[in-house]
């Protein structure tokens, strides 16, 4: 009975928590519809403070920041939404619109076709979706083996040999992609510049020489952290240091 009470308490708490989120989200959406964008932003951020995130929440927050001309934070939230839902066309479209308003036009260092194709493949789905696909093919493999030993039909056994190979090969290939996706997510961090204009420094201190100037909304590769500074790398290969206060991690 005690365990049942704990389960019921957990379910009840989850329902109350979900109801609270929905209520705040509705308030935020109403503020947005009434063009009270600052209040909408405050409400959306209060949901994030409850340790809840979703593509829709980041999408709405990105829209609200765009309406208040906060380009950097708008891009930041669209990027966070795409991290959870990489194939969302509305997000991709809005992100492209906002990026067109940024000041920096940095030419990327060209990559080999096979490397570019591989990066596009592993980032085409979220880590969760790759996990789901691996699980599906693994279940196909297990079910096919089970049916092979249970059935007495020669035709069915021949068919299960085929599905077993598909399940096994699919599970192996997708596991490799999943591992690469996980490695990429865990080893690579990107940030968005949220300060209107900022000079990157040669070393992590204010008295260091400036190496280049960048602007709000630029996406950068975060390579290292030291005290209150991020070491960043641009897509053209330039490297410098920015204060943490000037940018946010996606």
Contact 195/176 with Cβ under 8 angstroms?
no
Q: What is the mean pLDDT of residues 153-168?
A: 90
Q: Let me know: does 47 contact 21? Beta carbons within 8 Å.
A: yes
Neighbours of 211 (CB within 10 A): 14
Q: Provide the pLDDT confidence category of residue 7 given band limits of 50, 70 and 90.
A: very low
Give the pLDDT band of residue 178 (cuts 50, 70, 90): very high
Count of CA atoms in the C-beta half-sphere (13 A) of 167: 18
Please, which pLDDT band fits residue 197 given cuts at 50, 70 and 90?
A: very high
pLDDT of res. 19: 65
Task: State yes or no: pLDDT of 244 exceeds 60.
Answer: yes
Helices and strands, number each (H, E), in the chain: 8, 7
| Rounded mean pLDDT, 101-109 | 84
Whether pTM > 0.85 for this model: the answer is no
Question: Looking at residues 88-93, what average pLDDT do you find?
Answer: 94
220 in helix, strand or coil? strand
Packing angle of the helix pair 113-122, 154-187 (nearest 10 deg): 100
pLDDT of residue 125: 87
Confidence of residue 13 (pLDDT cuts 50, 70, 90): very low
Tell me if 188 sits within 8 A of 180, measured CB to CB.
no
């Amino acid at each position: 009975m005690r365990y049942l009470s704990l389960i019921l308490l957990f379910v009840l708490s989850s329902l109350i928590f979900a109801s609270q989120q929905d209520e705040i989200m509705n308030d935020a959406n109403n503020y947005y519809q009434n063009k009270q964008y600052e209040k909408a932003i405050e409400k959306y951020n209060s949901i994030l403070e409850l340790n809840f995130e979703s593509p829709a929440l980041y999408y709405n927050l990105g829209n609200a920041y765009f309406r208040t001309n906060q380009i950097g934070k708008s891009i930041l939230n669209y990027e966070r939404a795409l991290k959870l839902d990489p194939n969302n066309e509305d997000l991709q479209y809005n992100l492209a619109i906002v990026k067109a308003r940024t000041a920096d036009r940095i030419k990327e260092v060209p990559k080999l076709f096979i490397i570019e194709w591989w990066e596009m493949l592993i980032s085409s789905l979220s880590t969760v979706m790759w996990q789901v696909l691996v699980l599906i093919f693994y279940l196909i493999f297990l079910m096919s083996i089970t049916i092979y030993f249970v059935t007495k039909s020669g035709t069915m056994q021949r068919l299960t040999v085929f599905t077993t190979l598909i399940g096994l090969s699919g599970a192996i290939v997708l596991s490799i992609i999943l591992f690469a996706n996980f490695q990429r997510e865990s080893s690579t961090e990107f940030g968005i510049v949220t300060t209107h204009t900022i000079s990157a420094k040669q070393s992590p201190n204010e008295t260091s020489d400036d190496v280049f100037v960048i602007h709000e909304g630029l996406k950068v590769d975060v390579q290292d952290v030291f005290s209150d500074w991020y070491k960043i790398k641009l897509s053209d290969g330039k490297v410098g240091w920015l204060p943490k206060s000037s940018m946010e991690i996606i």
